[in-house]
A and B are shown apart, each in its own frame.
Chain A
Amino acid sequence: MNPDANDLQDRIAALALGIASDEDRAMLEELALADPSISREIEAARAAVDVMAHDVPVCEPPPELRARLLAEVRPVASVIPLSSARDRVAGDPNRRRWAWPAVAAVLAMLVVGLVGWNLTLRGDTAPGDPDVASVAVAATASAPGATGRVVIVKDGTLAVVTLDGLPAAGPGEGHELWVLRAGVPTSAGFLRPLPGGAFVGVATDLDGVDQVAVTIEPRGNTAAPTGAPLVAANI
């Protein structure tokens, strides 16, 4: 494709405004690599468009937004000392071990399907649902590409964790979901892989749970985390 001057400017304008087609975007990126003058044109168009981002009436965000945002990123730091929690757990012989009876597993599979399907249909609309809350997970340095959400049924009966971009577990290992009560982790079982590389896990009985986290663990380990946290979220 060799667009004439006006046509090229139209496409550059669309690119800068973020309304270019994928095809045009790819074509312009290719042209910019080959021709510095086109690269400069794109840069100039973007600089002009940037003005529009600032050309708006000033609105102060509410203070709660700052607090909410910082609370969302905080789990990364606060979950780091899982090892100290592990020590506390090791010294507590009365700690209830997580059991994963067959009935619960079947229930979880059903719930994963239903909730996942429901969320897919609704998109990211959980915040508007009075019965369901949705929290983004925070990735740690051990899994910088990890993203995902925790969807929590507000009566505390269920949390569904969906994650993408987790590092691969080694042979005999899996991604284990932990719920934390005042820093004490309890296994909520291993995540299940989904087609496309995503993972899903379900935690039930959220009474007193304030955080969730995921680590890579040897299969069969449900006592306490031994790996570094990959992601975490305050719930």
Chain B
Amino acid sequence: MVTRDGRMGLRRTGRPAENLADEDLIRLVGDGDEDAFALLYDRHSVAAYSLAVRMLGDRESAEDVVQDAFLAVYRSARTYTPGRASVRSWLLAMVRNRGIDRIRTARAITRRQQRLESEAAVAQSRDTQAVAMERAIGSDVRSRLDDLPGEQAAALKLAYYGGFSHSEIAQFLEVPVGTVKGRIRLGLHGLRARVGEPGGGE
């Protein structure tokens, strides 16, 4: 495999590829090693895709987001700093950020439609917002978040999976912004108690 530096990559490391840690692979990816990149994809694509589907609700958009995130990993592998976050967390943060960008773009378009179109469109776009909110909250699979009080879990899900701000969540749940902040704070505290302190989560 020829890398971006014209050097040989993964197959020349002398170690079985599956024994390489993510941090080793990301270094090779930084040198343009496609095999290392493919291996990283194989390790983390299910988690990345699952998160994207959860956030966006449709598989086509999720594919785009995952593709963009992995390409960003490929291009910025050299900027990865071990110790700040695991490679997996770094990648999933990229997936999540891109998912949020996409959700917010869709919302911005909806708002623009609100301004430009008729009353019927306004009603429809409100429905769109509500659907996005419900998608962020809802899931058929029981999760660790469901061990939290329902209102805390809902606020956390809206913030994390939907990228909604405090004030947007307050509007949707029809509670004061301060209440939303409190629910998120307590919910996160509860999650922390369940996963332990840093390093004990996975």
Contact = CB atoms under 8 A, between A and B. Distances in A.
Interface of A: 6, 9-10, 13-14, 16-19, 40, 43-62, 65-66, 68-70, 72-74, 76-77, 80, 123, 127, 136, 138-141, 144, 147
A69 B189 CA distance: 38
A136 B71 contact: yes
16 contacts: A9-B189, A18-B100, A19-B164, A44-B192, A44-B198, A45-B188, A47-B199, A48-B201, A49-B160, A50-B89, A56-B51, A56-B141, A69-B41, A73-B71, A136-B71, A140-B32
Interface stretch (B18-26, B58-66, B118-126, B127-135): B58-66
B185 interface: yes
Nearest to A229: B4
A contacts with B: majority SS = helix
A56 B50 contact: yes
A10 B1 CA distance: 49
A206 B136 CA distance: 43
B184 A17 contact: yes
Contact of B74 (A53, A138, A141): A138
B96 A18 contact: yes
A62 B41 CA distance: 12
Contacts of A19: 159, 163-166
B143 interface: yes
Contacts of A69: 41, 67, 70-71
B175 interface: no
A54 B5 contact: no
B45 interface: yes
Nearest to B139: A57
Contacts of B144: 51, 55
Contacts of B48: 61
Interface size class of B (residues with CB under 8 A): 35 or more
A61 B5 contact: no
Nearest to A78: B2
Contacts of B159: 14, 17, 19
B52 to A, nearest CB: 8
A65 B185 contact: no
Nearest to A70: B38
A17 B143 contact: no
B117 interface: no
B181 A10 contact: yes
Nearest to B84: A43
Given A51-B191, A57-B50, A127-B64, A70 B37 contact: yes
A141 B5 contact: yes
Given A13-B185, A59-B53, A65-B49, 6 more contacts: A13-B188, A49-B191, A53-B93, A73-B74, A74-B34, A138-B74
